[in-house]
Structure 1
Amino acid sequence: MNTNTAHPDIDGCTSICGNCAAGYRRALREGGLSGTVPGCLIAFGLLRKSEGSDDHLPVPPSVAAITLARPIKRAILDQRAALDDMIAALSPMDAVYRHERRRHQDHVQPLIGRDVIDTAVQGALEACSEELLSAHPEGGRPSGVLADALPRDLAPAGRGVRQRTIYGHTVRAHGPTLAHIERVTREGAEVRTVGERFEGLIVCDRSAAFIAVLAESGKESYALEIREPGLIQYLMKTFEAVWERAVPVEFDTTGQQPPRLTDEIQQAILELMVRGHTDEAISQRLGLSTRTIGAHIKRAATRFASRSRAELGFSLAKAGVLDAGRDAPGPPGSGAHQRRA
């Protein structure tokens, strides 16, 4: 008899069938059954063999249920004990986990206040010995800020640190920033510019990184110091992706300033305009003033004789300017076909 399941399966019977019910009723009326009895009744514990006799006596269903449930309850208790043992075995690891998570969180520290941020960054720069990466999305910086930053930017080069820096294209029209770039490139630093919006970043020796966090209006400057290898690896990949798209800033031997890449800037503006961005949104994306954005769009509209943004977008698409990118030809005499890198 199968007593290890709540649904016995004797001769394919998994429930009380009509024959079982009839047999059980007869057993109750006659005080028992003799001879061959339905196997279902035995399987469900509704009949039990009488001692010293071949007769099978009826058993109350409540008693039969208790009998069938006993091994199931025992199995449940065994499983519960196994669960308790498993929880007890893992309990010491919970403390280890919490400790390691706290240590992991220590690898990302908030820095609040300009003085605190500058001190932390300066400490990392002084310890930098192999590679320094930085990205400055704010565009041209005030002369005073650049003067203060120059000794700090030149110091790693003096120690043989490889330096790579990314700016926006707009710095090519900002004299003080260009002079700063020329000075650091003479010491071996590599500088490139892009016509897209990116976030500020400093990475020292691939072991310490700093990112600026947008603070609410009126709040102190806020940054994160990151020493978590996985996060730094992610930031490195992001930097490398932007670096590959960026255009090198190069100065010739005569000291002539690099070109402003007007075509590249206008290309980025027009692409965003066609996608439906407003002048304000494009300004935030590229780090340019809304006046500059409007001037570029107006210049393109004049070039293509367009009276609205929709008409300008159609003309740009028809000319293939946005599809072909920087090398796309513009209208005759526009000079848009010349890529100035």
Structure 2
Amino acid sequence: MFEALGLDADEERVYLALVPVPGATASELSVELGLSVGDAERLLKRIESHGLAARSGTSGRYVAAPPTVALGALLTLARDSLWRAEQGTAALSEQYRAASAARTVGDLVEVVSGPDAVRHRFTQLQQAAESELLAFVTAPTRLVHWSDNPAEREAARRGVRMRLIVERELLEEPGAMDDAERSMAAGEEIRIAESLPIKLVLADRTMALVPLRPNAAEGAVVVHTSMLLDALVALFDACWERAIPLRFRSSSGSPGSSDDEASLVTDMDVKILSLLLTGMTDEAVAKQLDLSARTIQRRIRQLMDLAGARTRLQLGWHASRAGWL
């Protein structure tokens, strides 16, 4: 909770145990927290040095400092440090922009070699994003699987808009639907394409990471502001417009649908329709949703009857128009 203020987990644990009591000795805290008396005494002295506690007379008891005072002081110091870092970053960014006109092609395209270096720059790119992260996710995935990416999830929690275009082949991997559903629940937007030309990550439309070969571990290039970056951004936007949105729940309030009709369309129906629209076969959809192909076909027939559709193409058109997808 208070790592950003310079407290480690043990110091925080001791302070939180001390706050709700009038005072406590190292011996008493050692029993409550399952520590040795020596460890409890060392931790109490450490939080005392942070101004979070004070020894009461000669009794050996420690009393917690008021949180608004003790933690408030640490917050002020942290804010000041962050402000200075922000000002320093802004000044460096201005110098970088001023020098960009004089940069050579080699300065605008940085080559990164080796799996560790590529992974590090990939993580840096996501951590630096302030407003938007865009990505092409192609098969096979390397280094960091598209569904197992802590830096991406942290960016989503910061409010960074996440838009991913995923190759359809990846949806057929075991557990892919569960992974995608968790990502979308965290705020990510996912669209599906039959194929994508390259692997790509774009941060705030100001920097891109592009692997040099299908095996991303061999190396990648980091592209800074340039016409090449503009082309990569335009490529993403064009592919996004053509890709199929992945949906797991029915939309509401769309024109062309009735409440009675919409109430008959379940979330499972929406998953089935969404996957079929990406080009997956009945068998592949059934495998992902842990259903039989016969169940998938029967439910599609029922949806066609509900929509008054004679073909699956008409069903897809009606589903979109009626707000099912």
For the aligned pair, the TM-score class normalised by the smaller chain equals 0.3 to 0.5
Instruction: Give the alignment's TM-score, normalised by structure 2.
Output: 0.46
Instruction: Give the alignment's TM-score, normalised by structure 1.
Output: 0.44
